[in-house]
Amino acid sequence: MFKIVIYLVLISTLLFSQNCIKCHKKVVENYKHNIHYTLSKAINITRKTWGIKDSNVTYQTLPQAKKIIKKPSDLVDDFLRRKCLKCHIDSKVNDYPGIRRGTNCLACHSKHQTKGKCQKNKISTNKCLSCHNKNYVGGDYTGLFPKDEDHSYRAPLTKNGFFPPVKYGIDYHHLKEDIHYQKGMTCVDCHNAADMHGTRKVRCIDCHKNLSKKNHPSYHKKISCSACHSSWNNNSYELSVFRDDTPSYKKWKNLTLQEDEYLTIFLNKALKSKKKIKPLMPDWVSGELKQGIWYSGWRYKRWEFFNLANSDDGTIKIVRPMYQYRVSYRNSNGTMILDDVHKINGKNMDTWIPYSPHTISKNAKSCESCHANPLIINPKKTGYKILDLKLPDYITNGTKLTKEQIKKMTSRKYKKIRAKMFFK
């Protein structure tokens, strides 16, 4: 049944795309090079982190998963295909609250063809959040911070005594919303067609042109807007992932919510069934059901800590541990082939990446949040070393702050400037 549904979706997607390209040929051609279509950034960072050097593939060229597993790099493509890539515009996702959407052009655009002509409909924020939820930029725009997965974190209860409805496959803390969201702006008010179709990138100064020198001094000109103006940021540390080819489900009864809507549905069914259900999970690229279930869980999540790094675009940005892995695999015979592997050639399987939290506030952070931040100034003496909050050796699309930069943050010049603010 699953294969039939996927086949019908692919046929309808192809037919609709052919209709779109009749009028929007240039748009469709440009979009084929956009990261929303290729997913090249997320795919290649993950493959490199798992031990594949010089990875340069896209969603469209991703290899089939290997059958013989000896090391993490043998398992990474299966992980990508079955755990990560259900958000691609061609993927048919489950009928799950918040996740429902079309495919291909319809993944973003509503069906709006009338008598051979298209009616322009503004894309809603909810449409974007069907993919950009959980710890990805987007959910934070609406103030959503994903809770830990264990049942003990599913609170508060509603008035009728039940847990609140799950959206996007997990429960959320409700934190401060982005000021643009509070003002009624949607995602596409900034991320317009030119940005989404791959012809330009949006910048804060496209709208905010008249910035006062008083509040934005020259020595901060290389600092990204969000580094100061984000009120919180989404940091999830150490993602343990475990592919289990055996039907062992009871241990997960308190962890049915793992930010994966397919897994939640499968586990609830398997735990209630009197018969043994085979461990099967879809390959979201091919649509084929394959043996083994991918479980996952973050070691801990934080919104109050942050680090800074030099981004390749020439600015200093907040940097977060988007790709920290601990990998396990048990085959159908019950043999642990990989048991919590988190180092390759002596280095941790992790990559940090500069990003822009969408939690913007009119008022900037305090000076001390950066200039006296122990995670930046002296991470080895903060007491957080055991939690691995210190920066790793490798930051994709960026580099760590230099010793000279950190020295400037604690210089006498900074202290004099800060003192003048207090003693006017």
Q: What are the DSSP calls for 131-165, one per residue?
A: TS-TTSTTTGGGTEEEPPSSGGG-----TTSSPPP
Q: Going by DSSP bridges, is the β-strand pair 235-244/316-330 parallel, antiparallel, or unpaired? A: parallel
Per-residue 3-state assignment (H helix, E strand, C coil) for 38-105: HCHHHHHHHHHHCCCCCCCCCCCCCCCCCCCCCCHHHHHHHHHHHHHHHHCCCCCCCCCCCCCCCCHH
417 within some domain: no
For 331-372, how does the pLDDT look when each residue is reduced to its tens digit (9 = 90+)? 999 999 999 999 999 988 988 999 999 999 999 999 999 999
pLDDT at 175 (0 to 100): 94
134-148, 227-241, 364-378, 382-396: range with lowest mean pLDDT: 382-396
Q: Is 413 exposed, middle or buried (0-12, 13-18, 19+ CB in 10 A)?
A: exposed
Does residue 115 sit within a domain? no
Backbone phi, psi, residue 128, to 5°: -65, -40
Can you tell me the distance from the alpha carbon of 387 to that of 169, in angstroms, rounded to the nearest whole number?
26
**What token pair was written down for 351?**
């990559």
The pLDDT of residue 113 is above 60: no
In a domain, 423, yes or no: no
Ranges 7-21, 156-170, 186-200: which has the least confidence? 7-21
In a domain, 23, yes or no: yes
Q: Which two tokens stand for residue 217?
A: 């001094």
- Is residue 256 included in any domain, yes or no? yes
Q: Is residue 244 a part of any domain in this protein?
A: yes
* Model confidence at 78: pLDDT above 70: yes
On whether residue 14 sits in a domain, the answer given is yes
Residue 189's domain comprises: 1-108+123-399
Number of structural domains (the chain) is: 1
- Cα torsion angle, 208, 139, 90, 53, sign: positive
Closest C-alpha among 244, 269, 246 to residue 256: 269
| pLDDT greater than 50 at residue 5 | no
What is the mean predicted confidence (pLDDT) over 409-413? Answer: 91
**11 has a pLDDT exceeding 80:** no
- Is residue 216 assigned to a domain? yes
User: Is residue 26 pLDDT above 90, yes or no?
Assistant: no
Query: Taking 50 as the threshold, does the pLDDT of residue 7 lie above it?
Result: no
